[in-house]
Structure 1
Amino acid sequence: MGELRAGADFLDAAKAILRQERQRLAVLLQCPHELVLVGGSSLPGTLTKGDVDLHLRVSVDAFTQAVAAMSDVYEVVLPEIWAPTLATFAAKAALPTGIAATPAGSEHDLRFTRAWQRLAADPALVDAYNDVKLRHRDDPREYERMKSAFFDSLQA
């Protein structure tokens, strides 16, 4: 996973990337949408490896068209995890940047939205999230498994 640092170290750069990608998507997408900053770089108290995670929310009706448009401009990443309500991309930016696209109200949308709202509101959850990262940072497969389980627990 690499060195972990405080999310606060990357927050300004992450917000600049968010603004940049909002501008790009405003031209690219012909539908209403919302792009929000999530992930470790979005909260000052979290630990991060310095990447930026963005969450694109579009209407259910616009999802297929938005994904097709993004596929022409952004790098498709992790196609093996794509689902009818999730597509993932990478943006060329000052920091490694991923974009998860979801239809608003879908299972994947609610997973991102609720989890990051809960983390932002509860320092104890941030501590638990950081603990997962610290305990499993040397084993990427176990880290992904435990991080997924942690986010599953936030949905209950």
Structure 2
Amino acid sequence: MPDLRPGADFLDAAHSIVRHERERLAALLPGPFDLVLVGGSSLPAALTKGDVDLHLRVPASTFTRVVTILRSVYEVVHPQIWQATLATFTVEAPLPAGVAVTPAGSEHDLRFTRTWQRMAADPALVETYNAIKLRHLGEPDEYERQKSAFFDSIAPSDPDPV
């Protein structure tokens, strides 16, 4: 497993990737969208291996069309986790990067966006996240299970549409 470093080490590069992808997507996508930085590289104190996680929030009415468009510009990644409200792609960027696409207000939208907002507002949540990551170094399956349970425990249930 790669060395873990604080998200602060990657913030500038991550924000640059977000800006570039926002410009790229603005020329391609119908209607409004919101592209946000999530994941360990979005929080200065969160431990990360340096990958950049993007979350593309789109209106539910355009989700299927957006996914079709993105298939022509991004490589599909983790198709086994795709659901009616989730699609994932690899983004070509200076750092390893990916984008998760969700309809705004969906369960996956809340999970990707609002949990990271809550973590940004609460250093104790970041400490818990880091402890899970450190405790399960070299155990990717168990790490994913524990991270998922942690996110379930802090995930909000109220919708927040684009």
TM-score, length of structure 2 as denominator length: 0.94
SS of corresponding position for 1:28:
coil
Question: Which 4+ stretches in 1 moved above 2 angstroms?
Answer: none
Tell me which residue corresponds to 1:121. 121
1:33-72 mapped onto 2 (5 Å cutoff): 33-72=33-72
The answer to whether structure 1 residue 4 and structure 2 residue 9 are counterparts is no
Structure 2's unaligned 5+ residue stretches are: 157-162
Residue by residue over 1:45-88, the C-alpha shift from the partner in whole angstroms, topping out at 9 and shown as x without a partner, is: 10000000000000000000000000111010000000000000
* Structure 1: gaps spanning 5 or more residues: none
1:1-150 alignment runs, 5 A limit? 1-150=1-150
- Does the CA contact (< 8 Å) of 1:2 and 1:137 recur in 2? no
Question: What is the root-mean-square deviation of aligned Cα atoms in Å?
Answer: 0.8
Aligned residues: 156
Alpha-carbon separation, structure 1, partners of 2:3 and 2:112: 24
CA shift for structure 1 position 2: 1.6
Contact 1:119 1:126 in 2 (8 A): yes
Q: Once the two structures are aligned, what percentage of the paired residues are identical? A: 67
Point out the structure with the larger helix share. Answer: 1
What is the DSSP-based 3-state SS (H/G/I as helix, E as strand, rest coil) of the residue aligned with 2:85?
coil
Equivalents in 2 of 1:150, 1:25: separation in Å?
31
Q: CA deviation at 1:139?
A: 0.7
* Distance (whole Å) between structure 2 residues aligned to residue 2 and residue 134 of structure 1: 12
